[in-house]
Amino acid sequence: MTHLQRTLYSIIFLFISVSVFPQTGSFNSFGEDETILYTMNKQVGQFVRRFNMEEDSYGKRLATDDKKYHNNKLREEMLPILFDTYNPRTSGKLKQYFIDDVTDKSNPVFLNFLDKNWYAEVSATFTADGAEVNIILFLTLQEENLGSKWVISNVYYSYFPHLFPHTEDSVHQLYFLHPQSHELDFMNLHRALDDPAHIELYASNYYRPDYLTLFFYQMKMGQLKFKEINSVKFHFFQVKNWYFELSYFNRNDTNSGWLISNLKFVNDEEKKELIKSFKLCAIDK
Amino acid sequence: MNKTAFLLIFAIGLGFATPVFAQDNLSPERKQAIDSLAMEKVRDLSKYISIIGSKDTPWSEANRVIDRAEELFMTGSEIGVSSLVREEINYYGVRDYFERLMRLNYNKVEISWYNIEYVSDLQRQPDGTYVGVITIFQKFKGYDKEGRLIYQDTTKKDITVYVKRKETQIGGRLIGFWDVLLGDIRVKETSK
């Protein structure tokens, strides 16, 4: 996207802000950097409110009976500005199809804080045996008692899949306990237990390792130590047939703050697979 | 908690006082009143930061203000600071953060605030306490002995706000009020 296009978007934002939401006070009185701070999606919640058209240009909540509240026409104008306009993946026709879908008159889509199927991804540095390693934690919101809380739903640590490499069926056929093992007091079980490299092959074909438990174990044993958080982003799956990612852009530009950094058209099956990696250990009620 | 803040909280509490104290859902009007209350605390904090950071503030006065500022926070709150050159977050206790601000090695310090305050929705945590985040922006300038500007930054401060319904007994009657306390703060330098 060219500088001219970005400037145009800023002007559009200001136009939406000033002309559509007339307020006391004026953007004219802002310095350039103040305009940037106003247009920036300062919180994830602000992104959501703007996505839904639930606040005015000053970040003040619109009353639900306000004509502008959830106004689809205004959303059509606002939504393009909620994308990272520097990124070709979030520009172009796909973006417009997405906007058309979420602002569909007969079935508009709005985001809600307590929606299922939006996840946080926290990339963090840990130390393992003195060496720094990158681990990704996935979190999801869970309702509990009077409110809700973020819970760790899964983890990705490149070391864990190495412990459980993908094995062909032919390999599975080499490692098993025959069906009469019980008659021998499982005397052959030692073959499994003396060979930890293949031990998981003695479990069900449907067995899938729980990396989150491994992670907790390593933390409890002091084998992994937390150092610092590097970045945070969010994954949204609430919109039918769509997935989008939200990232924070710290730049001196009106296209800054929490913006859509990736957008994909995904069918339900693909979506299920993607969600699996985020929520493997989150328990649905 | 300073007297004005307490009176304000109490006054709003009285305004809302109802015979039944369970407040599961907040009406938009009540939310707005709580937002104002939370903003009041954040403005107090901004004012205290400016006083503590100012080189014109005598040491004893700055310490007194630090005491007041500390009272705005929940015990154990932390301030996590990162900058453009150092993305790693440094964590400070509230008192430690203010004391470092007081000791900054500049001859003159200017702290100003943008007229932008963003207040999130209040969400309830499992124990029923409401949690929100207020975002404000601060401009900092540090000058040397010759009056030259040697450092400046703009920081985004995301401030946790806890809002809890509490009760107090006055003249044998239980009166409910909203208690507002600040929590962890994330301080992030914005792009130059």
DSSP per position, B131-155:
EEEEEEEEEEEEE-TT--EEEEEEE
Determine the distance in angstroms separating the CA of A240 from the nearest CA of chain B, rounded to an integer. 25
What's the pLDDT tens digit per position in A202-225? 999 889 899 999 999 999 999 999
Please give the pLDDT value at position B32. Answer: 86
The domain ranges of chain A are 3-116+237-279, 118-161+209-230, 165-202
Please give the pLDDT value at position A281. Answer: 62
Q: Which residues of A touch B190 (CB under 8 A)?
A: 37, 250, 252
Neighbours of A204 (CB within 10 A): 7
**Interface check A228 vs B, CB under 8 A:** yes
The pLDDT profile of chain B, 192 residues, written as one tens digit per residue, is 444 444 444 444 443 333 333 345 788 888 888 989 999 999 999 999 999 999 999 999 999 999 999 999 999 999 999 998 888 899 999 999 999 999 998 999 999 999 899 999 999 999 999 999 999 999 999 999 999 999 999 999 999 999 998 899 998 899 988 999 999 999 999 877
Burial of A90 from C-beta contacts in 10 A (0-12 / 13-18 / 19+):
buried
- Residues, chain A: 285
Please give the pLDDT value at position A96. Answer: 95
Interface test with B, best of A114, A142, A250, A251 (most B CBs within 10 A): A250
Q: Backbone phi, then psi, for B42, in 5-degree steps?
A: -65, -40
pLDDT band at A46 (very low <50, low <70, confident <90, very high): very high
Residue A10: pLDDT over 70 = no
Q: Which residues of B touch A148 (CB under 8 A)?
A: 123-126
In A, minimum Cα distance to B118 occurs at A59
CB contact under 8 A, B123 and A46: no
Decide which of A50 and A284 is more confident: A50
Determine the distance in angstroms separating the CA of B128 from the nearest CA of chain A, rounded to an integer. 5
Kindly report the pTM of this predicted structure: 0.85
Q: Backbone phi, then psi, for A234, in 5-degree steps?
A: -130, 150
Minimum mean pLDDT among A38-42, A57-61, B61-65: which range?
A57-61
CB contact under 8 A, B191 and A253: yes
What's the pLDDT tens digit per position in B81-111? 999 888 889 999 999 999 999 999 899 999 9
Measure CB to CB from residue A144 to each of B24, B120, B126 and give the nearest one: B126
**Interface check A112 vs B, CB under 8 A:** no
A contact residues 181-220, partner B, Cβ 8 Å cutoff: none
Cα separation, A6 vs A86, whole angstroms? 9
**Residues A111 and A126: beta-carbon distance below 8 Å:** no
CB contact under 8 A, A146 and B84: no
Please give the pLDDT value at position A18. Answer: 44
CB contact under 8 A, B114 and A228: no
**Interface check A132 vs B, CB under 8 A:** no
Mean pLDDT of the A176-200 span: 95
Tokens at residue B77, please? 């709150």
Cα separation, A260 vs A262, whole angstroms? 6
What's the pLDDT tens digit per position in A230-262? 999 999 999 999 999 999 999 988 999 999 999
CB contact under 8 A, A43 and B135: yes
Confirm or reject CATH 3.40.50.300 for domain B3-189, answering yes or no: no
Half-sphere exposure of A251 (CA within 13 A, CB side): 13
Cα separation, A201 vs A171, whole angstroms? 9
What's the pLDDT tens digit per position in A106-135? 999 999 998 989 999 999 999 999 999 999
**Interface check A42 vs B, CB under 8 A:** yes
B50-85 in b/e burial notation, b at 16+ Cβ within 10 A?
bbbbbeebeeeebeebbebbeebbeeebbbbbbeee
Tokens at residue A146, please? 């009077």
Please give the pLDDT value at position A192. Answer: 94
Tokens at residue B102, please? 């007081």
What's the pLDDT tens digit per position in A130-168? 999 999 999 999 999 999 999 999 999 999 999 999 888
Please give the pLDDT value at position A20. Answer: 38
Measure CB to CB from residue B123 to each of A59, A113, A228 and give the nearest one: A113
Candidates A236, A265, A281, A275; CA nearest to A89 is A265
Q: Quick one: what percent of chain A has pLDDT higher than 70?
A: 86
- The residues near B75 (Cβ < 8 Å, ≥ 6 apart) are none
Cα separation, B20 vs A196, whole angstroms? 62
CB contact under 8 A, A148 and B118: no
* Residues linked to residue B131 through DSSP beta bridges, in sequence order: B123, B162
Strand, coil or helix: A250: coil
